[in-house]
Structure 1
Amino acid sequence: MLCLGFESTAHTFSCGIVEKKANKGRIISDVRRIYRPPEGQGIHPREASRHHIECSSHVLAECLKEANLTIRDIDIISYAAGPGLGPCLRVAGVVARTVSSYYKIPIYPVNHAIGHVELGKMLTGAKDPLVLLVSGGHTVLAAFKQKKWRIFGETLDITLGQLLDQFGRSLGFASPCGKKIEELALESEKYIPLPYSVKGNDVSFSGLMSAAKKVSKNRQDACYSLQETAFAMIGEATERALSFTEKKELMVVGGVAANRRLSEMLRKICKRQNCKFFVSPIQYAGDCGSQIAWTGLLEASVKKGAKISETFVRQSWRLDTVEIDY
């Protein structure tokens, strides 16, 4: 079975085609176009949605060409229905509904966060992990129990991705800023004390961001200190959640999963906890159509596609509210 997935929750418009055979998935093609705001600025939802509209037909055509398929070869369609930026979400929603209606292909709305998790499991081989989802839209620790992903820790304010992006923009970078901050952090080993805020098993990054901006005169030292503090906070919450849930696997997904320093710190935690460590491949750590396509295939294994009148986009849609039957 082949699924064409559409992703446009934030800065990325992507189409991905995934094949499912005998409960195993294979990515056939994945094409993306990323909206790049001006230097020092973040994502403007209206401008990002305009970018997605302009590139959507080209991305779809390129995705089918890369897979050596036509739209009539596709068995089902899925799209990221939320959470995300409203104007951006609507682009994938409209494109997916249009293609589904015209070619009479079943359609499945997919939760974007669950897409990260499910593609991560498919690519890494993790079976029953504690999941750390860290991106621009999420910072959450979750474990699966009784048909839902249960939350064992999350951010109380901004996400880890927002922390890196907002601090990076204060240095004059354009979002996403994580890679540039990581590169600058590698040039320093001088730690500047910054606020460390872990409350129970939740984290708070807003105070850390404000304090880091005040010491940003030396970019390398500030980036190093910001990363070390934020990742140590995440590490503490993760180790506590591993101990509490008694999970023997930790899987890291989301855009910030590409950060090597974060992985290094989490590997040490897993070693202490006698736990296997999995991290999403860098190529698929961020937003992509493949994560939506694979989750659509999983949904299709237990339910029929939605009626067009039942399709939706939802800016706020927590992964712990989604019941999973597959």
Structure 2
Amino acid sequence: MIALGLEGSANKLGVGIILHSKDKSNPVQILSNIRHTYHAPPGAGFLPKDTALHHRSHVASLVSSALREANLTPSDVDCICYTKGPGMGAPLQSVALAARTISLLWNKPLVGVNHCIGHIEMGRSITGATNPVVLYVSGGNTQVIAYTSNRYRIFGETLDIAVGNCLDRFARTLNIPNDPAPGYNIEQLAKSGKVLVDLPYAVKGMDCSFSGILARVDELAAQMKSGILKDPSTGKPVTAEDLCFSLQETVFAMLVEITERAMAHVGSNQVLIVGGVGCNERLQEMMGTMARSRGGDVYATDERFCIDNGIMIAHAGLLAYQTGFKTELADSTCTQRFRTDDVYVAWRDD
């Protein structure tokens, strides 16, 4: 069976086409995975209306390109999958409208997909992780998840803003470019940082809080720009690279801690990192150190599958469609709030 997936919950518009076959040696085949990103100017975030306009402007050409790349026609596609939520309202609406239009034009059934489930199932398929604890980290979400009884259960999450949003907003403070991604640019600056500045560390059980950390590092950035922020051990000025390094080390240590607590709770020795922040090499390195100390492994994907993409929506949607699930046209809405554990995972019985 073949599915076309549309993702547009934030500033990435993705179109993917996937094939599920009975060939046990190659059961999942990626036929096309195309993405186009809306970049706001440096120092600014992407506004919902501008992002929605970007998605509406590019979705038709991306769908056409995906079909050409996969060497398919609309008649070859079995279902149209789209991101139902969570995400930003206006971009989600644009993609839902595109999915409904394609469904009507091609006379194909619709499948609404939970964004997080898409990340998890794509990560499991690409990495081969069997039943891992999942760390889902992105611009809008931060959750520690484990599967049981046909649900992805949330063990811990952010109490305020997501870790990716924390990094993105600090990039605005430093006026760092948004191309290719603000978090990526912070990661590159952090590689040159040497001074670990003291920042708040906010872990509460298996939950995290990032807004206080962001407020404090913003204060330190203002002191740095005025030249009064010094390294207490050397007396040398603290740099933007030092602040990026300190922010990453602090928030990633928090994420490693809550993930390890969940692993101990469920008795798992596997960690799967998904979401856009999951591309960060330093996060993968820190998580790997923790997992190996427990005799386990960490699994992660590269930017093709970590960053929001259409293929993950096509994959998760097709898994659901093969169990008999579909979204009626009258119910093909979208929502900014769609909990991961609201989804009944009918395709798993382990």
The interval holding the TM-score normalised by the smaller chain is over 0.9
Query: Given that residues 80 and 112 in structure 1 are in contact (C-alpha distance below 8 angstroms), is that contact kept between their aligned partners in structure 2?
Result: yes
The equivalent of 2:259 in structure 1 is 238
> What is the SS of the residue equivalent to 2:244?
helix
Deviation at 1:275, TM superposition (A): 1.4
Alpha-carbon distance in 2 for matches of 1:265, 1:12:
27
Aligned to 2:228: none
CA distance in 1, matches of 2:316, 2:174: 37
In the alignment, does 2:102 pair up with 1:99?
A: yes
- The alignment status of 1:294 with 2:337, answered yes or no, reads no
* Match in the other structure for 1:4: 4
1:163-242 correspondence to structure 2 within 5 Å: 163-175=166-178, 176-216=181-221, 217=224, 218-242=239-263
What fraction of aligned residue pairs are identical, expressed as a percent? 38
CA distance in 1, matches of 2:326, 2:204: 41
Q: Distance in 2 between matches of 1:63 and 1:45?
A: 25
The corresponding residue for 1:136 is 139
Q: Tell me the distance in 2 between the aligned counterparts of 1:214 and 1:304.
A: 50
* Partner SS for 1:215: helix
Q: 1:254 aligns with which of 275, 278, 281?
A: 275
Residues 11-50 of structure 1 mapped to structure 2, 5 A cutoff: 11-22=11-22, 24-50=27-53
Structure 2 counterpart of 1:11, one-letter code: N
Count of paired positions? 326
Which has more radius of gyration? 2
Are the counterparts in 2 of residues 242 and 273 from structure 1 also a CA contact under 8 Å? no
C-alpha contact (below 8 Å) 1:41/1:174 kept by paired residues: no
CA positional deviation for 1:280: 1.9
- Whether contact under 8 Å (1:130, 1:143) holds in the other structure is yes
Whole-Å separation in 2 of the counterparts to 1:30 and 1:283: 8
TM-score normalized with structure 2 length:
0.91
RMSD: 1.1
Counterpart contact for 2:177–2:185, Cα < 8 Å = no
Q: Which runs of 5+ in 1 are unaligned?
A: none
- Match of 1:126, SS? coil
Contact 2:132 2:272 in 1 (8 A): yes
- SS of 1:152's equivalent? strand
Q: Secondary structure at the match of 2:272?
A: strand
Question: How far does residue 137 in structure 1 lie from its aligned partner after superposition?
Answer: 1.3
CA deviation profile, 1:26-47 (whole Å, cap 9, x unmatched): 1110111111111110110000
Give, in whole Å, the separation in 2 of the partners of 1:12 and 1:235.
27
CA distance in 1, matches of 2:171, 2:325: 44
Using structure 1 for the length normalisation, give the TM-score. Answer: 0.98
Give the structure 1 partner of residue 233 of structure 2. Answer: none
The one of 56, 71, 74 aligned to 1:71: 74
Shift of 1:282: 2.5
Deviation at 1:243, TM superposition (A): 0.8
The alpha-carbon deviation at position 233 of structure 1 amounts to 0.7
Output the CA distance in 1 between the equivalents of 2:95 and 2:74: 16
Structure 2 gap ranges (5+): 225-238
- Which amino acid is the alignment partner of residue 30 of structure 1? N
Shift of 1:304: 4.2
Q: Identify the match of residue 110 of structure 1 among 108, 113, 122.
A: 113
2:157 pairs with 140, 154, 179, which one? 154
